[in-house]
Amino acid sequence: MQSNSRSITTNQHGPHDELSRRVERGLTHPLRKPVAEHTRQAFAHAEAWLKLHRAPLILDAGCGVGLSTRRLALEHPDHAVIGVDRSADRLAREHGEPPGNSLLVRADLVDFWRLALAAGWKPRKHYLLYPNPYPKAAHLKMRWHGHPVFPAIVALGGRLEVRSNWRLYLEEFALAVGQASGQRPEVIEHHPAGECLTPFEAKYLSSDQALWKLVTDLPHRPELLPGLNDIR
Ligand SMILES: C[S@@+](CC[C@H](N)C(=O)[O-])C[C@H]1O[C@@H](n2cnc3c(N)ncnc32)[C@H](O)[C@@H]1O
């Protein structure tokens, strides 16, 4: 099916001038935002579920309607897959009962990632599939790599895979990962083999937009997030 999702337009001509300063700030200044009670409860539920499953974790961060969570769970029956999204509306859309080795959680990732790090979670794989791009230069802080929670994403470690239809988003993300971890991943074009993993992927593909990804293996380094001890 052909769709006509518009490609990204931005007033940036290259990586944002403030990116390195934002990343440096995240690495050196604790994020003071208190953890919301609803995410604390959602995390406690996810933690109990994960303990029962005793399998390597795959985190699907910003899973939307959770199709990718379901597909990853079917592809990896020996893993426990947790999809997290803040939108109750998206999570509630009917896409069938999730496989038994998957869990959909409604939570704010800004809090969930920090709780996961504080609890010692070490995802084997960590997906960020088509995060909101926030393409205006003024919105750098809202992109995950410009957000103060960014060090937590890197600190969790594991195989991190980020996909986007906006190449610059990934180029910035790669620069930020390089700054935080010392290893800068490559951004490559993504050609889905067979079924698309997510609805956004399918939408962009059927609008003839190029898709991009970065994949990087990161060590678990909780010390990257300042103020981690104050979170639990
Ligand atoms: C563009 S959609 C992509 C959804 C899905 N990954 C896909 O590819 O179809 C981005 C998703 O990130 C979620 N999101 C954005 N900020 C979030 C946050 N702070 N905590 C949890 N989810 C968030 C949104 O609710 C939305 O479902």
pLDDT at 43 over 60: yes
CB of 108 sitting under 6 A from ligand 1? yes
If you measure from the C-alpha of residue 85 to the centroid of ligand 1, how many angstroms do you get, rounded to a whole number?
6
More confident of the two residues 82 and 3: 82
Q: Provide the pairing of β-strand 212-218 with 188-189.
A: antiparallel
Closest residue by Cα to atom 12, ligand 1, is 62
If you measure from the C-alpha of residue 110 to the centroid of ligand 1, how many angstroms do you get, rounded to a whole number?
12
Section 113-119 average pLDDT: 98
Task: Name all domains of the chain by residue range, CATH numbers in brackets.
Answer: 19-221 (3.40.50.150)
CB of 85 sitting under 6 A from ligand 1? yes
Q: What is the pLDDT of residues 122-173, one digit of tens each?
A: 999 999 999 999 999 999 999 999 999 999 999 999 999 999 999 999 999 9
pLDDT at 97 over 90: no
In eight-state DSSP terms, residue 54 is: -
Section 66-88 average pLDDT: 97
Q: What is the pLDDT of residues 169-218, one digit of tens each?
A: 999 999 999 999 999 999 999 999 889 999 999 999 999 999 999 999 99
pLDDT at 224: 98
pTM over 0.85: yes
Averaged pLDDT score across all residues of the chain: 95
- Dist. CA 139–CA 141, nearest whole Å: 5
If you measure from the C-alpha of residue 132 to the centroid of ligand 1, how many angstroms do you get, rounded to a whole number?
7
pLDDT at 4: 75
Mutate-to-test residue for ligand 1 from 87, 147, 149, highest number of ligand atoms within 8 A of CB: 87
- Dist. CA 5–CA 14, nearest whole Å: 23
* Concatenated DSSP letters of 2-45: ---PPPP--S-SSS-TTHHHHHHHHHHS---PPPPHHHHHHHHH
pLDDT at 73 over 60: yes
Least confident interval from 1-15, 86-100, 120-134: 1-15
CB of 164 sitting under 6 A from ligand 1? no
* Residue 101, C-beta contacts closer than 8 angstroms, at least 6 positions apart: 53, 55, 73, 76, 77, 79, 80, 81
pLDDT at 1 over 70: no
Other residues' Cβ atoms within 10 Å of the Cβ of residue 226: 16
Mutate-to-test residue for ligand 1 from 110, 112, 126, 130, highest number of ligand atoms within 8 A of CB: 130
- The band of 2, judged by pLDDT with boundaries at 50, 70 and 90, is low
CB of 109 sitting under 6 A from ligand 1? yes
* Residue 135, C-beta contacts closer than 8 angstroms, at least 6 positions apart: 8, 9, 10, 12, 166, 169
Closest residue by Cα to atom 15, ligand 1, is 62
